[in-house]
Each structure stands twice: as C-alpha cells, then as structure tokens.
Structure 1
C-alpha cells in the first residue's frame, strides 16, 4: 500500500468502489482520472470484491486498495480520518443504493462510509443500480438527504443494465467522460 503523504498533484481523488455489477467499470474511471493528472487512491467495500478483484483496482490506482482489512494501521493511524483529510474529493463509483442509504443515515461501520462520515471535504456519487431501485422512494429520499449536505451526483444514465435486463431504464453508471467532467466541476466547487 502506498503512503498517504502529500503530493504535487493538483487534486487528490479517493475513488470508493461499492458492491454492484458496475464495479467492473471502476478501473476505467480511475485510469481516466489519473490521465487527467489527479492523484488517485481507491477504497473498496468487501462487497465490491464480489465483482472485481482487488489486484485489478490496485493496478488501476497505481497502489494498494484501502479496505476494511487495512482500516486500523499498525502505525496507529486511523485510515478513515486520514483518508477523509487526504482527499480533495471522494468519488463513489459505482454507488449502490445501500452505500447511499448508509451515508444518508450516518452509518460508519465500513471504511468507505466511515471516511465519508469523518468529514470528507466533497463527495460525488455516481449511482448504478436496477431502475426500480433508483426510483424507489427510499432511494429518492436518501439522494435528497445527501444533496442537502452538498453532496453531488452524476447519473445514473438511461440504457441497458449490466444484468442484461431486456428493458432499458435509468440506473446505468454514467460514462467515464461524464464522470470525469463531474469530478472537475465538483473539485472547482470545492475550491471556490
């Protein structure tokens, strides 16, 4: 795992990967962020590893992945606080309904949710889920709660789902270019 020390990069983006099928797209998002000159770290929930190997995320990020297993370091640093202070922006991509619900009610029993709760400066959610889940009143309420805390959202988009559902709907992860544009906008908003 790479150290969380300072860097000369203009912006530091922590990419949170949650347990949805769209997790397989996270390396592409991370690659685009790095190509744009951002310093990137990745944090993944345990459920994310059901869809993508940890090694794949580590290669994309150019360093180790922060996980619940690495949460409490031998050095005595508590990663959720360290990561929250390090990141100029936390991008959750893909963001599941569960991850947004956990944040909206203030849960912090995994590394990603604890990092957001520990005072992340700016948070951008890139939701990806079944259209019925996206339009569920509970999800809509959680999104409004997070927006009320100045969290930002990109997507979801309309299109066929990764699960090969026959009917398209709103729930597909936004494309990489759209996410990158939203990251730049969120970073500009956080600075200004």
Structure 2
C-alpha cells in the first residue's frame, strides 16, 4: 500500500465515535494524518480524543484563518494526497454536491482536494433516499470515491439492521490504499 498524507474529515454523525480508531489504523499503516472536524462532530467525539489519535491538533472552523494570513482550507487541500470523510453524513455529502463551502471541511474539498474518499454512515432510510442517491451520483461523477456503507445494526435505537453502517476500519484503510495506488497509476504516462 502506498503511504500518503491523509486529511480525515470528521462530520457530525453518531459514527464519529469510531473516527479515532480509523485515524489510529491509518497512522499504523504509515500514513501521515491530519484531522479536520466539523463543529457537529464534537457532539459525538471530543476534540481532544481526535487530537490524541492524530498526534496533533484538530483543524476546526475556529482555526480556519491562520495568523500568517494563509487560510487553512487552501493549505490543507494542497497538503493532502487524499481527503477521507469518515463518517460522511448525508448533510456533508449534500453540501459538497452543491458546492457549499462555509465550514473548513467543505471549503477544503472545494479548494482543490486531489482525491476525496467518502465513508458514509447514516440511517438506512437516509442512505436510500433519492436525494442522497443523487448527491452520491454527482460526487462519483466528479471522481470522488466511496467505501461503504455496510449493512448491520445501527448505533441508534434501531433494532433492525440496514445499509447505512460505517464501513469497518480495515475496509476504510484498504480503500485509502487503493485510492492512493490508483492516483499514482492514473498519473503515470
């Protein structure tokens, strides 16, 4: 697997509690990792937990404008070989598919992120909604990639399994490696 510079975008879904495990696995695989989290993500996982998993501070809307005058969304987009959004909520995908950029993560994706990999996690009804399907199709049309969602029990009080569960950590890490490998293959003459 090709190691790379990975920006993990954490959005505000219940599956955000799994993000530190994904971050840890990426680092164990040799990737350099930075984290950008939405404000909603902090309802489900503390900023400090993400920082410990990444081994550095978390990039947020509060840190968006650097004291040097540079703006983080441009710096992060240029730095990252791949932006992994895990978990990716229906809202985050919808915002990206219509070009919204009023938070650090969505602005980073708009600012020229080279490769974007979405790891969706949401209620099965949200995943199967025609709006979500249209947004996924739009993002795929732009070359964005997806890993999951998987079928299984949801983290909420849902008793029945369905498609919408965040892909397993190992599957996400493997998808990152595949995306990085195809990126270098695609760039070859």
TM-score (norm 1): 0.95
Residue 8 of structure 2 corresponds to residue 15 of structure 1: yes
Q: Equivalent residue for 1:4?
A: none
Return the offset for 1:189.
1.4
Q: Equivalent residue for 1:85?
A: 78
Q: Equivalent residue for 2:158?
A: 165
Q: Equivalent residue for 1:123?
A: 116
Return the offset for 1:164.
2.9
User: Equivalents in 2 of 1:96, 1:10: separation in Å?
Assistant: 26
**SS of 2:155 mapped into structure 1:** coil
State how 1:1-192 maps to structure 2 within 5 Å: 10-192=3-185
Q: Mind listing any 5+ residue stretches in structure 2 that lack a counterpart?
A: none
User: Equivalents in 1 of 2:184, 2:79: separation in Å?
Assistant: 15
Return the offset for 1:142.
0.1
Is the Cα contact below 8 Å between 2:3 and 2:177 reproduced in 1? no
**SS of 2:48 mapped into structure 1:** helix
User: Equivalents in 1 of 2:155, 2:4: separation in Å?
Assistant: 31
Return the offset for 1:191.
1.4
Q: Mind listing any 5+ residue stretches in structure 1 that lack a counterpart?
A: 1-8
**SS of 1:65 mapped into structure 2:** coil
User: Equivalents in 1 of 2:18, 2:183: separation in Å?
Assistant: 26
User: Equivalents in 1 of 2:42, 2:183: separation in Å?
Assistant: 30
Is the Cα contact below 8 Å between 2:153 and 2:161 reproduced in 1? yes
RMSD: 0.9
Return the offset for 1:10.
4.1
User: Equivalents in 1 of 2:3, 2:154: separation in Å?
Assistant: 35
Return the offset for 1:190.
1.4
Return the offset for 1:174.
0.1
